[in-house]
Amino acid sequence: MTFTSDDSAEQPATPEGKIENLRYRVLSSRWRQVMAVMTFCAIVLAINQIFNFGFFVGYVMLDSRYMYLITGVMLAMVFIVFPASRHSPRHVPWYDLAIIALIAVVFAYFAFYAERIVLEAWEYTAPPVGEVLALMTWAIVMEAGRRAGGWPVFIIVALFSLYPTFADMLPTVIAALSIPLSDAAIFHVLGEESLFGLPMRVFATLVFGFLIFGISLQYTGGGPFFINLAFALLGHMRGGPAKVAIFSSGLMGSMSGGPISNVLTTGPLSIPAMQRIGFSREYASGVEACASTGGVFMPPIMGATAFVMASFLNISYVTVAIAAIVPSVLYFFGLFMQIDAYAARHRLEGLPREELPRLGTVFKEGWYFIAVFVALIWMLVYLQREAVAPFYATALLLLINQFTKHRLSVGKFMDLVATMGRLLAELAGILAAIGLIIGGLAVTGIAGTIANDLVYLAGENVLVLLVMGALTSFILGIGMTVTAAYIFLAIVLVPALTNSGLDPLASHMFVMYWGMLSFITPPVALAAFAAASVAHVSPMRAGIEAMRLGAIIYFVPFFFVFNPALLLQGGALENLQAISTALLGVALVSAALQGYLIGLGELGRGSRGTAVRILIGIAGLTLALPAGGLFGFSQTLLLSLAVVFLVAGIAARYLLVLPLLAATAE
């Protein structure tokens, strides 16, 4: 038995229904063909540039010309895919056609004069026609950001991209020299630090291939394979369907565009299965929301943010992925232990084995997905070919797939390409707009001033600065995508953290994790709200449950900032020690949150149970806190404190809770 049909295996795992229709334009078959053709053109451009094929005639394209061409194609697709309002028309109106035509003219002009733009330094002294076209492009990019990322992205981008024009009128602490609007426009559009700065360069050279790989996995049946694999491995265990949600969502994070689409892909299968064995609707929603959010920062493919981070730090993507292994393991281990404790406390068994897919059958039908992942990781880690690896992996996947039952017809292949275009256009629209923020800060040089001011406000207290950074990351994560929030904070906040003596990689990971937390934290827990729509339960109750289940992730970023050994940045012995104590600590914290400790049993209810859970929770946090690092606590001290609190908790359980449980049983 499998939990997905063949039809679903061949369809993209993207959000559907009302949420989808409010966001994306419903395209006719003709416009889907147009999208497929434009996406194909973008892919050809990217492959030619990344592989340095020279169009097979020896013509090497200037990098700036490539950026103009591929950005123009992507921006035009934004105005095909995303309607101007939420009425989701089924046609592309005249004004969008006019914008698309304008994009074609403007970016063709820039591409044609790419050499002159560079050699004559148009970003400082452009001719009148360059100034006019730059102003038009600025407006188009902001509107593309609004459509792809929403009003919060538009407002923030407008504020910071226009900042250079009124910087001299602001209070001294954030004031800078202002420049005319036309000068700001040509800097944004014709320079290399704004529209075509770090976000779009990373997108056009690294992220592009991984997005194509993820969509190809969806269309070739990768989603159903990973879900069935999870059911075959874990479905029979105590609380099995909830553990399946963790495993499958972690794997689906390699394909999904974000937490919400991850929820709407795996949730319709995992949530009903959880309810069936006794999990409440709220709890099931919380589990799915937490698992789907964690899937986005699960190596080996962590999404666009990790690639941008690697470029900021000037390190390889593999280094970032390796650093993310332990934090993501701690997060999913904490979820797993909480679910196991909850299931044990409420005596929730797994699904009958006869109803689950057989492991051998699942592997027989989808072995090539594992093989392709192994090949991808080998190319990333061993060959160090980050830019080309996903293209090779995608080609291998599509080739093998044509000899399976999921093989693609011409029509389905065109749908695959069109879906790639939609995802590429969405991310390109957001990243192009976010680039304007970088430009606004770069041309004024205000980023360094803000970083120094933050250090001053924190009184040079690193812990206060971290709390300020966590709150800022969380608030920005509410209104922006994780990538957008991260890029802004990497410019403004991370320098303040590193200036305070914190590890650069740990600082970048810190703001990324806290930006992600808004997806599971009320009042705007979007992943939890999406799961609530699947489970038909109150969104706020689902959000509260998700917040409690994901509690460990609120602490993990502080742990690896205090001591980067949890990012595998220390010696082998130091790393092993930090990881082992962190795992034990997370297990105790999970037990405290759910009121059940394996080997001990229920921790009690009411005030007595709360006292026991607090003692065990403190023991877990003390144990998980890495030794050395920022505070310099010795491992002996931390272990001693953890043992004291744990023994006190166990003693309180035997003295206060057990007699009450025995009396209740009688």
Query: Among all chains, which residue has been given the structure tokens 């803000």?
Result: 450
The pLDDT, as a whole number, for residue 5 is 38
The pLDDT, as a whole number, for residue 661 is 60
The pLDDT, as a whole number, for residue 302 is 73
What percent of the chain lies above the pLDDT cut of 90?
A: 23
pLDDT one-digit tens code per residue, 26-38: 888 889 889 999 9
Looking at every residue in the chain, the average pLDDT score rounds to 84
Q: For residue 523, say if its preceding peptide bond is cis, omega within 30 degrees of 0.
A: yes
| Confidence label for 253 from pLDDT (cuts 50, 70 and 90) | low
Q: Where are the alpha helices (DSSP H) in 254-324?
A: 259-276, 281-295, 304-313, 317-323
pTM above 0.75, yes or no: yes
pLDDT one-digit tens code per residue, 542-556: 888 888 888 888 888
pLDDT one-digit tens code per residue, 504-528: 999 999 888 887 887 888 777 778 8
The pLDDT, as a whole number, for residue 87 is 65
pLDDT at 265 over 80: no
* Beta pairing partners, 597: 601
* Beta pairing partners, 602: 596
C-alpha Rg value of the chain to the nearest Å: 26
Backbone angles phi, psi at 597, to 5 degrees: -115, 125
The pLDDT, as a whole number, for residue 16 is 36
Residue pair 520/482 in contact (Cβ under 8 Å)? The answer is no
Amino acid identity of 606? G
Contacting residues for 162 by C-beta, under 8 A, at least 6 apart: 184, 440
Q: Can you tell me the distance from the alpha carbon of 224 to that of 427, in angstroms, rounded to the nearest whole number?
A: 25
The pLDDT, as a whole number, for residue 21 is 44
The pLDDT, as a whole number, for residue 478 is 67
The pLDDT, as a whole number, for residue 240 is 85
The vertex-94 CA angle with 88 and 95, nearest 5°, equals 80
Amino acid identity of 394? T
The pLDDT, as a whole number, for residue 111 is 95
pLDDT at 412 over 70: yes
pLDDT one-digit tens code per residue, 356-385: 889 899 988 888 998 998 898 898 878 778
The pLDDT, as a whole number, for residue 405 is 82
pLDDT one-digit tens code per residue, 163-181: 999 988 888 777 888 899 9
pLDDT one-digit tens code per residue, 220-245: 888 788 888 888 988 888 888 888 88
Residue pair 436/55 in contact (Cβ under 8 Å)? The answer is no
Which candidate, 332, 260, 331, 269, places its Cα nearest to that of 289? 260
Q: Can you tell me the distance from the alpha carbon of 330 to that of 39, in angstroms, rounded to the nearest whole number?
A: 38
Cα distance from N-terminal residue to C-terminal residue, the chain:
44
Q: Record the tokens describing residue 213, joined without a space.
A: 């790989």
The pLDDT, as a whole number, for residue 8 is 36
| Confidence label for 400 from pLDDT (cuts 50, 70 and 90) | very high
* Beta pairing partners, 655: none
The pLDDT, as a whole number, for residue 225 is 87
Q: Which of 182-186, 251-255, 441-445, 450-454 has the highest average model confidence (pLDDT)? A: 182-186
pLDDT one-digit tens code per residue, 561-619: 888 888 888 788 888 888 899 999 999 998 998 888 888 888 877 788 888 899 999 99
Q: Can you tell me the distance from the alpha carbon of 323 to that of 279, in angstroms, rounded to the nearest whole number?
A: 34
Is the model more confident about 154 or about 269? 154
The pLDDT, as a whole number, for residue 629 is 59
The pLDDT, as a whole number, for residue 552 is 81
